[in-house]
A and B are shown apart, each in its own frame.
Chain A
Amino acid sequence: METAPKPGRGVPPKKDNPQAKKKKPRRYWEEEATPVAAPAGPPRKKARAREPRPPRSKGVRGAPKSRFGRKPQAPKNASDRKKPRRTLSGAQDPFPGPAPAPAEVARKFCRIDKSKKLPRSKPKTRTKLETAEAQEEEASVRAARAELLLAEEPGFLEGEDGEDTAKILQTDIVEAVDIASAAKHFDLNLRQFGPYRLNYSRTGRHLALGGRRGHVAALDWVTKKLMCEINVMEAVRDIQSVFPLLAVDGRGSADPNWNRWLYIYDNQGIELHCIRRCDRVTRLEFLPFHFLLATASETGFLTYLDVSVGKIVTALNARAGRLSVMAQNPYNAVVHLGHSNGTVSLWSPAMKEPLAKILCHRGAVRAVAVDSTGTYMATSGLDHQLKIFDLRGTFQPLSARTLPQGAGHLAFSQRGLLVAGMGDVVNIWAGPGKASPPSLEQPYLTHRLSGHVHGLQFCPFEDVLGVGHSGGMTSMLVPGSAEPNFDGLENNPYRSRKQRQEWEVKALLEKVPAELICLDPRALAEVDVVTLEQQKKERIERLGYDPDAKAAFQPKAKQKGRSSTASLVKRKKKVMDQEHRDKVRQSLEGQQQQRQKQKTAKPTGARPSALDRFVR
């Protein structure tokens, strides 16, 4: 443990630029380009963990998105690009042409799926397709150039050779990081009001705490100021902070006659609403782009409440008993429910039945979490297993692991770290990269708490994990968990009151209708083929013929007796036969291909054995 810490992936040692043999005389018109020797400070002693989140400069405050527009202007003509124009001063553009855009990054922003082959298109259509592709390319290049503005880098934790990062304690990390980050690690000792659940707001600015025995509190996470604190004198099941900072909590009590409804408070702790149609709520999820508050109840209903208008959109009966496990997929706003029969069902308010049902565990599902890209789902069940599923169409487990006690709570961070709360221990796993699932072999970090875990969430845009447990609340430092760059227009933790108001209006204007929630949101950009076909059919029926169909072959009239009826028929027949032959040829080719596929598919199986002929 007490090995001398070494600096993490530090900056390579800078040398002074070796001077050229003969120094060119510096002219007064040349720019001041003295090679400033990097201030070689003393090597940091305790730099095992670099600062989890570099402190933000004040200039970032309220940085508008228009910064994306500030990029070098490309010259308009190709000729301009080739030879930099000679100016009167003799100075030349040191970086002629447009700024280079890395091709790999640009590929990330290409959204047109070119894998499918298109049917033959007419020239007019082709030009349209070409313009679309050109637009895509240009937009992606611009976006790739704008990547340059994402200056912040994620934090990280790196052990020495053979050192297990899981053995690094929080105290070590706190020692290594700067004061501002160290202040983010703290423990709230609140033994009195039982296990706590917690929720950070989407910007990471506010934190809401709800204790089982009625303690509800809201904090300003950045300033650590207490905004309100009340005791609702009932059991608080779950708490969720909704955009204008309303603390919402589902309450229930052991006494069945007692009221157990959904309550909404403002940031002063004043009760604004009591929603009686959502009763016996166990879990809450807020879908920020749809302004929907999804509640799972003991009665087995999943209810969607539109927060912007205060209406209940749908109440779906899951038909699977008490619902106590819920998670949302941030990619497509589908709600995942875990059931006691080991299945996880995926719900959208548009459908009465689940979109998909996945059998994950042999025992009941205890916790579900979906990562921020919507690619991976982590589940843990009563069979003490922790599994990671691929959500991209196949729903197959990618990796699994048996845990000594099974995980009761799961959460993903913005950069794909997975945390599991098992009893009073918290384990964090990290993947090799950002887009890869966490590898479950070696935990990245572990931490023991003073009580049993009851709620977990990573703080957005901060390398911090909030853990609510029976002994209060703990804020842990987890380097590399959060996204280092935030979108100033979307989720700005430092926005002012005015900016927040403006954002609210814009967000409300851009509210996504609830019925658009589906498994693959990109499918909305497809043509509704069923309706299209139906309409075409109806049109044909109405007109009595198919206007788009190819006209039947009409032989031309010829002279000198060659246009006799017999010859006409003969010519017609010829064309018909040709078409028929083509059709037959095509179908034969298709059959052959299928046969080949089968042939190729066969040998991939097991080694052939002589006994195979007896297998049925």
Chain B
Amino acid sequence: MHATKAAKGLLALSQQEELVDLPTNYPLSASEDEGDSDGERKHQKLLEAIGSLSGKNRWKSVERSEASLKVSEFNVSSEGSGEKLALSDLLEPVKPSSSLTAVKKQLSRVKSKKTLEVPLNKREVEQIHREVAFSKTSQILSKWDPVVQKNREAEQLVFPLEKEPASFAPIEQVFLDWKARTPLEQEVFDLLHKNKQPVTDPLLTPVEKASLKAMSLEEAKIRRAELQRARALQSYYEARARRLKKIKSKKYHKIVKKGKAKKAIKDFEQLRKVDPNAALEELEKIEKARMMERMSLKHQNSGKWAKSKAIMAKYDLEARQAMQEQLAKNKELTQKLQVVSESEEEGGAEEEEALVPDVVNEVQMNADGPNPWMLRTCNRDAKEDEVQADSKELPEPVAHEFSDNEGNEKPEAEEDVLLKEFEERRSIRKRSKLNQDAKPVGGQETKDSTTKEVLSELKALSQKLSKDNRLSKKPKESPAKTVPLVQEEEPAPEEEEPLLLQRPERVRTLEELEELGKEDCLPNKELPGAAVEGEQVRRNPQEELKGKKKEKMISLQKLLTTRTPSVTSVAVPTTVEEQEDEVERDQKQMIKEAFAGDDVIKEFLKEKRETIQANKPKDLDLTLPGWGEWGGMDLKPSAKKRRRFLIKAPEGPPRRDRDLPNVIINEKRNIHAAAHQVQVLPYPFTHHQQFERTIQNPIGSTWNTQRAFQKLTAPKVVTKAGHIIEPIKAEDVGYQSSPKSDLSVMQSSPKRRSKHQKQLKKRRAQ
């Protein structure tokens, strides 16, 4: 700014000088032309010019002024015009008067005010304009965003946009709005009204409606009586409950509690008979209660009450008793369901058998739970049943057991009963032992254990006696008992066979068992298979594969030789005369099979190994023989070097047939099929699994109903042929457009917007 000012000053100066030059030249010539007419003026001018030259460089305007010689108060003299007039001079006379302060202020403000800024240059102005315009327009346009969003997400767009979807109202609704207009119609309506005939809902008269709603008298009476009765009963019960609640007698509550416990036990017994599954659930509940008790400190004499009692206990018998009671309760609750010794179990099992009707066992057998133990116990039960049948004597103690449960008998009587029981059981066992001796399964074992059993049984008896009335807990123990029972038992091979077939994992475990048995040097019949294994192993030079292969071999053998009983079918194929030498051929075939079988397995395993080897990614060996060391005919690069330059191929994913010994699955990729697969992930998906999920649902008409197919394959945009598709307007989507332009969208009323949304929704729903 300063610079510009200075420049302006200079410019002004040069102009002055010109002007100065001009008058100097001009008056000279003029004086010569015009003569001495106004010599005085000339002189004045001259003086002025000289003065200006000598003094300040100010050019004084050439002004015409009246000559006035004296100063008067009535006019302004121009005398002393050369002097400057200062503002203060003007204001001096005004000073004393305060009425002019406003003016003063104004003046001071004017003084303080700076000069106006120079306007911005055009480019900048335009930029600013553009920015403002952009923000304004984008703001206006942003109102369209929801519309655009909706259109993008819409399943189907229909163009040209329809204003009003044609509605299909049922004829009745159309008639509802209909009114009688012509005189004839009105007359008819009047008639109808007079006769109380319905007009809009013309089919039921009020009388008819009432009759429909009405109930017969008897019915109403019965209903009322029922209601009354129900109310009365309710009030009785409420009163009774209130009364009982108020009773404070401890004894009473004790009795009530005991009664409840008894009832629960009885119920449980019932339940066990009727629905063993539910009983099991009950048992679980009890178990849970035990857990809770173990967790909590409820009956452990640690509460406030217990502490107070503890203080008193020394002197007060009752307090002591109360504490002991609590402790006893805790003990009772936390007592574990006992695992009893062997003989006890057997006895228990028998009891169980006696107690529980056969139906229960059957149910358990049928229950298709995956628990193998259950199955076995069933089998065992069945066996024992057989045994009992052989001995032609069913155990009697059923009745006694029941009496035990009730706990009404005296202890001596109980003792007697138990002794009797014991005797009976022993006799039964002896008989069964005889039977078992006939079987080869568990002969020696039983012999050895006879004495032990006697001992343990005696022990159990004493335990039982001490237990007294706690037989009620018996049912709790039953499930626990079954487990050890099962563990004793040797798995019967015939039963295992189907399992073996169905579950490969099980096969393996059983085989391990078998292997253990082999190590015990039991000469088995299945040895041919094992021998083959041994040979195989010996032949195999590769040590590291040995263990695995052995396993595989075993399982494979098993898989192939499933010894299912060849049940004779109803119709056995007849041999035909053509094949006279059937027997001979059969024998030949048998021999052939016997030898071929092993070969088949061996060959298959070899083939599998080869394919696995062939499909493994190969390592890359980059060693250069002779580089950095001696090379030659018989020289090989050192192991260290080879190791260093060997690039190991990354291990691929595990083979799919890794755990399937009898299968070779080709791992090669089907390139031809891959050409038909999707190779690029479309836009919003970041992972191929996401995309796969969206294309898993088939859309063809082969897999879908006609409607579903049509909907799944509906085009994204539908246009009407021969119709002009006009650009969307604000009115179309519920905005009000201002008359100026489509862009400027006024704030739409909420009502209209909601309507628009509804329409969109409707369209989507369709």
Which residues on A are within 8 Å of B, measured CB to CB? 22, 24, 27, 29, 65-66, 68-69, 71, 76-77, 85, 87-90, 111-113, 116, 118-119, 121-122, 124-125, 127-129, 131-132, 135-136, 138-139, 142-143, 145-146, 164, 166-167, 341-343, 348, 350-351, 353-363, 382-385, 387, 393-405, 422-425, 427, 441, 443, 446-448, 452, 490, 513, 515-516, 518, 522-532, 535, 604-607, 609, 611, 616
Contacts and interface: CB of A to CB of B under 8 A. Distances in A.
Interface in B192-250: 200-204, 212, 216, 219
B593 A125 contact: no
B673 A524 contact: yes
A532 B681 contact: yes
A143 B709 CA distance: 10
B562 A385 contact: yes
B687 A525 contact: no
A85 B695 CA distance: 40
B547 interface: yes
A341 B600 contact: yes
Given A342-B600, A427-B569, A524-B673, 4 more contacts: A136-B697, A350-B673, A356-B663, A423-B574
Nearest to A28: B203
Nearest to B497: A400
A11 to B, nearest CB: 29
Nearest to A77: B765
Contact of B688 (A342, A516, A529): A529
Contacts of B662: 358-360, 395-396
Nearest to A614: B519
A375 to B, nearest CB: 15
Contact of A355 (B212, B216, B665, B680): B665
B596 interface: yes
A397 B516 CA distance: 26
B663 A358 contact: yes
B697 A111 contact: yes
Contacts of A404: 566, 568-569, 572-573
B664 interface: yes
Contact of A532 (B170, B173, B679, B696): B679
B354 interface: no
Interface of B: 153, 155, 170-173, 175-176, 200-204, 212, 216, 219, 487, 498, 501-502, 504-505, 509, 512-513, 516, 547, 556, 559-576, 589, 592-593, 596-597, 600-601, 603-604, 607, 656-657, 660, 662-666, 668-681, 684-698, 701-708, 711-712, 762, 765-766
A359 B509 contact: no
B569 A122 contact: no
Contact of A525 (B171, B564, B696, B704): B696
Given A132-B697, A363-B596, A405 B573 contact: yes
Contact of B566 (A71, A76, A403, A522): A403
Contact of B600 (A119, A356, A362, A524): A362
Contact of A129 (B559, B679, B694): B694
B505 A66 contact: no
Contacts of A393: 656
Contacts of B601: 359, 362
Given A400-B501, A425-B571, A527-B681, A88 B694 contact: no
Contacts of A513: 676
Contacts of B501: 397-400
- 6 nearest CB pairs, A to B: A423-B573, A88-B172, A515-B672, A362-B597, A69-B706, A528-B677
A443 B697 contact: no
A118 B689 contact: yes
26 contacts: A71-B707, A85-B170, A111-B696, A122-B686, A125-B690, A131-B155, A351-B666, A355-B666, A358-B662, A362-B593, A362-B600, A363-B596, A393-B656, A396-B504, A396-B559, A397-B501, A397-B559, A399-B501, A404-B568, A423-B575, A425-B571, A490-B702, A518-B670, A529-B688, A606-B509, A606-B516
A362 B561 contact: yes
Contacts of A396: 504, 559, 660, 662
A119 B687 contact: yes
Contacts of A113: 693, 696
Contacts, number: 291
A358 B607 CA distance: 12
A395 B172 contact: no
Contact of A531 (B572, B674, B702): B674
A385 to B, nearest CB: 7
Given A350-B670, A398-B502, A135 B201 contact: no
A535 B574 CA distance: 66
A24 B212 CA distance: 8
A43 to B, nearest CB: 29
B576 to A, nearest CB: 7
Contacts of A357: 604, 607, 663-664
Nearest to B504: A396
B706 A65 contact: yes
A611 B572 contact: no
Contacts of A341: 600, 603-604
Given A359-B556, A405-B573, A112 B697 contact: yes
A402 B564 contact: yes
A356 B668 CA distance: 11
Contacts of B704: 139, 142-143
A71 B666 CA distance: 47
Contact of A535 (B170, B677, B680, B695): B680
B571 A397 contact: no
A112 B693 CA distance: 6
Nearest to B711: A138
Most chain B CB within 10 A, of A29, A125, A441, is at A125
Given A69-B706, A87-B172, A118 B573 contact: no
Contact of A121 (B690, B698, B712): B690
A38 to B, nearest CB: 31
A139 B657 CA distance: 36
A522 B155 CA distance: 27
A274 B721 CA distance: 53
Contacts of A525: 692, 695-696
A30 B751 CA distance: 42
A220 B164 CA distance: 58
Given A116-B689, A138-B708, A516-B676, A167 B597 contact: no
Contacts of A131: 155
A527 B596 contact: no
Given A122-B686, A383-B593, A611-B516, A527 B691 contact: yes
Contacts of A343: 604
Contacts of B560: 342, 359, 361-362
B687 A135 contact: no
A166 B570 CA distance: 7
Contacts of A348: 670
B502 A356 contact: no
Contacts of A530: 669, 674
A138 B766 CA distance: 13
B580 to A, nearest CB: 15
A139 B693 contact: no
Given A88-B200, A119-B689, A139-B697, A356 B678 contact: no
B673 A143 contact: no
Contacts of B692: 525-527
A427 B698 CA distance: 39
A424 B85 CA distance: 147
Given A383-B593, A423-B573, A528 B679 contact: yes
Contact of B564 (A167, A401, A522): A401
A424 B573 contact: yes
A530 to B, nearest CB: 7
Contacts of A490: 702
A22 B219 CA distance: 10
A356 B656 CA distance: 11
Contacts of B706: 65-66, 68-69
Nearest to B592: A363
Contacts of A138: 708, 711
